[in-house]
Amino acid sequence: MFSVTLFVLFVVSLVMGVNLYNLNAKPAPVVAQEPTPTPMPDVQIAPPVQAAPTVGAVDIASLTTNRYTFNPLVGIVSGHKGYDPGAVCPDGLTEAEVNYAIALEVTNLLARQGVQGDVLDEFDDRLTDYQADALVSIHADSCTIPGASGFKVARVTDSAIPEDEDLLVSCLYDQYGAYTGLPQHPASITDNMTDYHAFREINRGTPGAIIETGFLLDDRQMLQNKPKIVARGIAAGILCFLDQRLAPAE
Ligand SMILES: [Zn+2]
């Protein structure tokens, strides 16, 4: 639009300019300007906010109130909360605070889909026989291993519901990887993950998984500064699982 106006001014000034050098000539009749059809301005339409960098990722951007026919319950263990700091970086950043920021955001995202989230301490009384549609424990890995980058997900080794828990694990792998772009780092899965204490406490029918979201040294930029992206990956992984286990609303 602005450029059209400029162009019109330019043409007008050209005509005026010619007349200035041709004072004796009959002034050009003032022609009523035809309303110039306004061309569609070449406006760049901002692309829709990308929920995920990868096609096929679960859409968690929409503000659906109820994704399912009822309000599912998901427990989110905020790793180390209420117990110890977990991994600690040289400048004092703790794994516990990184985990907590992510856990809060995950429950926010789930709530938008009508999924109730309990944020649980590492050793939470509520974990005893905890019954929910899923339980995910959020941790992060060491701040002292240069060159280590990536995330991993595990479930208890002797699962009572291996199909459900494998699905939860694979959903988390797929979605978390898609949202964060972080590589998988399965080689660093330890007994602390596959024999995770909370898996022994919750009801055996509650599908559980633990995710180590990345390494606090090399992946710190993502884990500390982009908790919303990290949380989206986890929430999308949970929704991927629930989508395949629960009836959708409507
Ligand atoms: Zn931890």
* Confidence check: pLDDT of 7 > 70: no
CA distances from 46 to 43, 49, 50, 121, 195 (A): 9, 8, 11, 41, 47
The CA 133 to ligand 1 mean position distance, Å, reads 23
The CA 123 to ligand 1 mean position distance, Å, reads 12
Query: Against a cut of 0.95, is the pTM above it?
Result: no
For residues 50-70, give the mean pLDDT: 64
Residue 59 confidence class, pLDDT cut points 50, 70, 90: low
Domains of the chain (ranges, CATH numbers) = 73-245 (3.40.630.40)
The CA 142 to ligand 1 mean position distance, Å, reads 8
- The per-residue pLDDT for 52 is 44
- The per-residue pLDDT for 64 is 61
Average pLDDT of the residues of the chain: 84
- The per-residue pLDDT for 31 is 47
Residue 249 confidence class, pLDDT cut points 50, 70, 90: confident
Q: What is the pLDDT of residues 140-178, one digit of tens each?
A: 999 999 999 999 999 999 999 999 999 999 999 999 999
CA dist 114 and 32 (Å) reads: 61
For residues 235-249, give the mean pLDDT: 95
The CA 211 to ligand 1 mean position distance, Å, reads 9
Residue identified by tokens 């991927």 is 240
The CA 138 to ligand 1 mean position distance, Å, reads 8
Residue 20 confidence class, pLDDT cut points 50, 70, 90: very low
Q: What is the pLDDT of residues 198-233, one digit of tens each?
A: 999 999 999 999 999 999 999 999 999 999 999 999
The CA 215 to ligand 1 mean position distance, Å, reads 10
The CA 212 to ligand 1 mean position distance, Å, reads 7
* Confidence check: pLDDT of 22 > 90: no
The CA 191 to ligand 1 mean position distance, Å, reads 12
Cβ–Cβ < 8 Å for 172, 209: yes
The CA 130 to ligand 1 mean position distance, Å, reads 20
Residue 250 confidence class, pLDDT cut points 50, 70, 90: confident
The CA 98 to ligand 1 mean position distance, Å, reads 10
